[in-house]
Amino acid sequence: MGLLDKLRGELVDIVEWLDHTNNTLMWRFPRYHNQIKNGAQLIVRPGQVAVFVHRGELTDVFEPGHYQLFTDNLPILSTLLGWKHGFESPFKSEIYFVSTRQITDLKWGTPNPIMLRDPEFGPIRLRAFGTYTLKAVDPQALLKELVGTDAVYEADEIHELIRSMINTALADLLGESEVAVLDLASKYQEFSARLREKVVEHVDDEYGLDLPQLYIVNISLPEEVERALDTRTQMGLIGDMDRFQQYQMGQAMTAAAENPSGGGAAEGMGLGMGFAMAGRMMEGAGRPGMAPAMGPPPAPGGAWYIAVNGQTQGPFSLQQLAANITQGQITGTTLVWTAGLASWLPAGQVPQLATHFQPAPPPPPPAS
């Protein structure tokens, strides 16, 4: 290689930036020790701006286009270098390409829950997350405040700062709005716009950046609170809890009766549920719309106990025992006890209960 070719190789002929990262805000052209040649080609593609920096001072800015670097399109740099009548020699200058397109798919979220006072639930914790886009609108402010002398500046480097700004602004917004938690879902679009305005006020003036889009994707409650809300919703869908409990007890009794291997435990469970159902029927006998309990008129009596598989169950009222005798849950041999009895007796031998075990009368004779 000759001396002329060597000298020519040390001069930069084309200055351009091809960005394949989709996440870079600024990139410095790697000039190293090379000098920019007089008449060199500067290519600034759409979504880019080229900024010349000479000895730490911002000079000329080039919008998208194709340029030949002469004195007429480098007015500030020409003044600094004293090129009054054009320049023939190469020059040294740092060139920064700034991306002015939107950087998308950036996510934000609350690392810690936001404490608020809800008008319905009281003190409550909320979390939120969403997305935003980032764009450089003032390359000179970006270079002065953030880039400095970095060769490459990625969006990730300011992501934590912007996320902190979003979280702070969101806490202020939710506190000022005093909207009930259950109504927040209808305010996502409105709150997203207001949240963006609050954040842009800081990043635009200080760092030359803009957030063209910012969205709240979700505001959520703690898991235990969400489970409690689900239970509350289910109770609202059930409606009449008395009828629902009676239905559940009836289903359980049917399942116990169909289980041939349940033995004494199944019998005791069915008997206990029968007493509970009888009690609910007696309680609801006087309510409007409730069917009266079937069975003979109740006899006066105190607390009664029954023996099932060697274990005492109760206390039950005399009305509950009568209802369960009618349903077949208590037989004449079931041992019972109440105050006034000397010992446990079969139910069929207790005067207050014996009448409930009398056989039904035979059908009348046919008419002659």
pLDDT digits (tens, 9 = 90+) for 32-70: 555 777 778 889 999 999 998 877 788 888 999 998 887
- In this predicted structure, the answer to whether residue 5 has a pLDDT above a threshold of 90 is no
Report the C-alpha gap between 348 and 356 in whole angstroms. 8
162 within some domain: yes
Q: DSSP labels for 210-273?
A: E-S-EEEEEEE--HHHHHHHHHHHHHHHH--HHHHHHHHHHHHHHHHHT-TT-HHHHHHHHHHH
Query: Where does the pLDDT of residue 308 fall: very low under 50, low under 70, confident under 90, or very high at 90 and above?
Result: confident
- In this predicted structure, the answer to whether residue 11 has a pLDDT above a threshold of 70 is no
**Domain boundary residue among 66, 81, 99?**
99
Q: Please tell me whether residues 248 and 203 are part of one structural domain.
A: no
Pairwise pLDDT comparison (278 vs 21), residue with the higher score: 21
Closest CA to 320 of 307, 330, 310: 330
234 within some domain: no
Closest CA to 214 of 202, 232, 223: 202
- In this predicted structure, the answer to whether residue 22 has a pLDDT above a threshold of 50 is yes
Q: Please tell me whether residues 122 and 180 are part of one structural domain.
A: yes
Write down the pLDDT at residue 277. 56
Q: Please tell me whether residues 113 and 211 are part of one structural domain.
A: yes
Write down the pLDDT at residue 279. 57
Residue 285, domain extent: 240-254+267-357
366 within some domain: no
Pairwise pLDDT comparison (130 vs 242), residue with the higher score: 130
Q: Please tell me whether residues 185 and 133 are part of one structural domain.
A: yes
Number of structural domains (the chain) is 3
Q: Please tell me whether residues 247 and 146 are part of one structural domain.
A: no
43 within some domain: yes
Query: Where does the pLDDT of residue 294 fall: very low under 50, low under 70, confident under 90, or very high at 90 and above?
Result: very low
261 within some domain: no
131 within some domain: yes
295 within some domain: yes
Helix 223-238 with 241-257: angle, nearest 10 deg: 90
Pairwise pLDDT comparison (314 vs 50), residue with the higher score: 50
Report the C-alpha gap between 169 and 132 in whole angstroms. 14
| H or E element at residue 169 | helix 156-177
Q: Please tell me whether residues 122 and 218 are part of one structural domain.
A: yes
Q: Please tell me whether residues 133 and 84 are part of one structural domain.
A: no
Q: Please tell me whether residues 51 and 137 are part of one structural domain.
A: no
Sort 94 into a burial class: Cβ within 10 Å, 0-12 / 13-18 / 19+: middle
Write down the pLDDT at residue 198. 92
Q: Please tell me whether residues 122 and 222 are part of one structural domain.
A: yes
Write down the pLDDT at residue 287. 52
Average pLDDT over residues 309-322: 84
Q: Please tell me whether residues 120 and 209 are part of one structural domain.
A: yes
Query: Where does the pLDDT of residue 87 fall: very low under 50, low under 70, confident under 90, or very high at 90 and above?
Result: low
Q: Please tell me whether residues 74 and 118 are part of one structural domain.
A: no
pLDDT digits (tens, 9 = 90+) for 322-333: 888 887 788 888
**Domain boundary residue among 99, 132, 162?**
99
Q: Which residue has the tokens 């169950």?
A: 313
Residue ranges of alpha helices (H) inside 67-155 are 75-81, 139-142
Name the average pLDDT for the chain: 78
Cα Rg of the chain, angstroms: 43
CATH number at residue 218: 3.30.479.30
Query: Where does the pLDDT of residue 7 fall: very low under 50, low under 70, confident under 90, or very high at 90 and above?
Result: very low
Q: Please tell me whether residues 201 and 119 are part of one structural domain.
A: yes
Answer left, alpha or beta for residue 191, where phi above 0 means left and psi between -120 and 50 means alpha: alpha
Write down the pLDDT at residue 192. 94
192 within some domain: yes
Most confidently predicted of 41-50, 67-76, 270-279, 295-304: 41-50
- In this predicted structure, the answer to whether residue 365 has a pLDDT above a threshold of 50 is yes
Write down the pLDDT at residue 300. 41
pLDDT digits (tens, 9 = 90+) for 219-274: 988 787 777 777 767 666 666 656 656 666 666 666 666 665 555 555 555 555 55
Write down the pLDDT at residue 303. 85
pTM: 0.57
